[in-house]
Amino acid sequence: MGLVPIILFLVMLALLKCSPMLSAYTSLGIAILLNFIVKEWRMPVTGVIGSIIEGFAVAWMPIGLVVIAAIFAYELSVKTGEINVIKKMLGNITTDKRAQALILAWGFGGFIEGVAGYGTAVAIPAAIMVSLGFNPLNAAIICLIANTTPTAFGTVGLPVTTMSSLLGLSPNEISFFVSLLLWPIMFVIPFILVKMANNERKEGSKAFGDGIIPVIVASIIGYSMQPLIAKTTGAELPTILSSLLAMVLMIGAVKIFIKEKKNTEKHPVTLKEGVLAWLPYILMVVLIVGTSPVVHTVHELLEHTNSVFNFTFGNSSAFRDINGEIAKANVTFKWLLAPGIPIIAATIIAGFFQKAKVKDMISVFKDTVKHKFSSIAVIMGIVALSVVMKHSGMINSIADGFVQIMGKNFPLISPFLGTIGTFVTGSDLSSNLLFGNLQYNVAEGLKAGHQPLKELFIASNTAGATGGKMISPQNIAIAASTVGLMGKEGDMLRTTLKYSLIYAIVLGLIVFVGSVIV
């Protein structure tokens, strides 16, 4: 019964083609109703209200702020005209839409995910791709599918480092298992992206002809370094370093193997012009990495700006944690450490260098907030749904049901729990926090005291969570909002859902084999 709100949301959005707003808030209403009907899930009215307010707050910070920040950066580049320089530079590299999709969505998007996360890896590349002439729906779906495997080590490895710390497991071993589980999928995703990007070319063009295979191979070589990076450095750098390497190799392959048409006009861009155009994104990387755990001193100093809120209204005894036990129910808001503020700061600083007027920056920011308010209202409903399901114990009931049904065959559905977690919460980290302890406890039950199996199951949850990103209503809402296609979320979900299911099944088979080996 705990699956009812999730199934309802899927049916309304994908099959009945209801609006995201109606789907989200109807599902939220059903979850609240179930809370009062089913005794083991029952929270008092004030507990339900507290959960909804918590969901609304989290929807704005960090999720909503990141959406606004990413779109603000893009819109200001349009206002200043710097987006035209970026388009020229990318056009000078190649006019081949397949290669552009790989470089932007798979390479640059992976890098942004590794540095920032929180939807930026969908919003920023999708906005640039639309400006390059991509069909908005196609650009959004390409970025959603690309924003999968990189998220395992997103936001400087937070999904892995958090769980390894909470459970006393080795972050390097978990990271290594994650990278091995995702390795086969990394070989497939570039081919899917190229196939989809080929829709942007003239009819009859071969998806895998005209020199694109070496570019795909270059991207695979770059991302194939993840197991080595993970084993040696841990969770913080695999996505960042491998995506950078993939981008460099792809650009090199494009220059060598993709032949531009003879009448293709080149638009020379000076070094100064290029640096100025990309300055907002360069500063984003500097500020986000500079305030991340990688720079421990600065990160520790800025942690004092965090605020902790308790939304239980005195009903903490009614809230559940990932074990179904009484939750602390404190929520930490990272005002300066979440990506939103660094992205806005980077955009403003770059704006001054680009000679943008203060009144123009204020105007663009106000317009961005105004135009994206309805999108964030949808995200508010989705996050509130996830929080109500979490605190009432519905999520835990879903997981327990799977365990009871599968028994020793649990490894087959271990990644699927991660997928469900990300679908509901929109975050790999949140998915791990929801189901991490359960995965740990099941591993202990199957092989008592065997650390490698525990690390494998946590890695399985993390890997499965990456497949849930492409169907996460929050991520889809961000994509739709970015490319201006609010109301088309159902179309996006119908496309990505089939890939997500195959993704989880393949991972389940790999984890099952792995559980026998370890």
Give me the sign of the Cα torsion angle 317, 319, 325, 326.
Answer: negative
What is the average pLDDT across 205-219?
93
Q: How many angstroms separate the CA atoms of 426 and 25, rounded? A: 16
Q: Give pLDDT, residue 329.
A: 62
pLDDT tens, position by position, 152-201 = 998 778 788 878 876 778 989 999 999 999 999 999 999 999 999 999 98
Looking at residue 485, its amino acid is: L
100-116 in b/e burial notation, b at 16+ Cβ within 10 A?
bbbbbbbbbbbbbbbbb
Instruction: Say if CB 13 and CB 20 are below 8 A apart.
Output: yes
Q: Give pLDDT, residue 327.
A: 53
182 closest CA partner among 97, 104, 110, 100? 110
Q: How many angstroms separate the CA atoms of 257 and 240, rounded? A: 26
pLDDT above 80: residue 326: no
Average pLDDT for the chain: 87
Contacts of 437-442 with CB under 8 Å at 24 or more apart are: 437/167, 437/322, 437/323, 438/322, 438/323, 438/396, 438/399, 438/400, 438/403, 439/414, 440/167, 442/403, 442/410, 442/414
Q: How many angstroms separate the CA atoms of 79 and 362, rounded? A: 12
Q: Give pLDDT, residue 314.
A: 63
Q: Tell me the whole-structure pTM to 2 decimals.
A: 0.75
Instruction: Say if CB 496 and CB 471 are below 8 A apart.
Output: yes
SS3 content of the chain, % helix, strand, coil (to 5): 80, 0, 20
pLDDT above 90: residue 287: no
What is the average pLDDT across 474-499?
89
pLDDT tens, position by position, 217-261 = 999 999 999 999 999 888 878 998 899 999 999 999 999 999 877
Residue 63 is encoded by which pair of tokens? 């999720």
393: alpha, beta or left, given left = phi > 0 and alpha = psi -120 to 50? left
> Environment class of residue 362 by beta-carbon count within 10 Å: exposed (0-12), middle (13-18) or buried (19+)?
exposed
Please report, for the chain, how many H helices and E strands are present, in that order: 24, 2
If one compares 329 and 97, the residue with the highest pLDDT of the two is: 97
pLDDT tens, position by position, 85-133 = 887 887 788 889 999 999 999 998 998 888 767 677 898 889 889 988 9
Q: Give pLDDT, residue 438.
A: 76
393 closest CA partner among 57, 45, 48, 46? 48
If one compares 306 and 288, the residue with the highest pLDDT of the two is: 306
What is the average pLDDT across 23-37?
93
The 10 Å Cβ neighbour count of residue 499 is 19
pLDDT above 50: residue 322: no
323 pLDDT band (50/70/90 cuts)?
Answer: very low
Q: How many angstroms separate the CA atoms of 280 and 406, rounded? A: 49
Q: Give pLDDT, residue 320.
A: 60
Q: Give pLDDT, residue 161.
A: 83
Q: Give pLDDT, residue 447.
A: 85
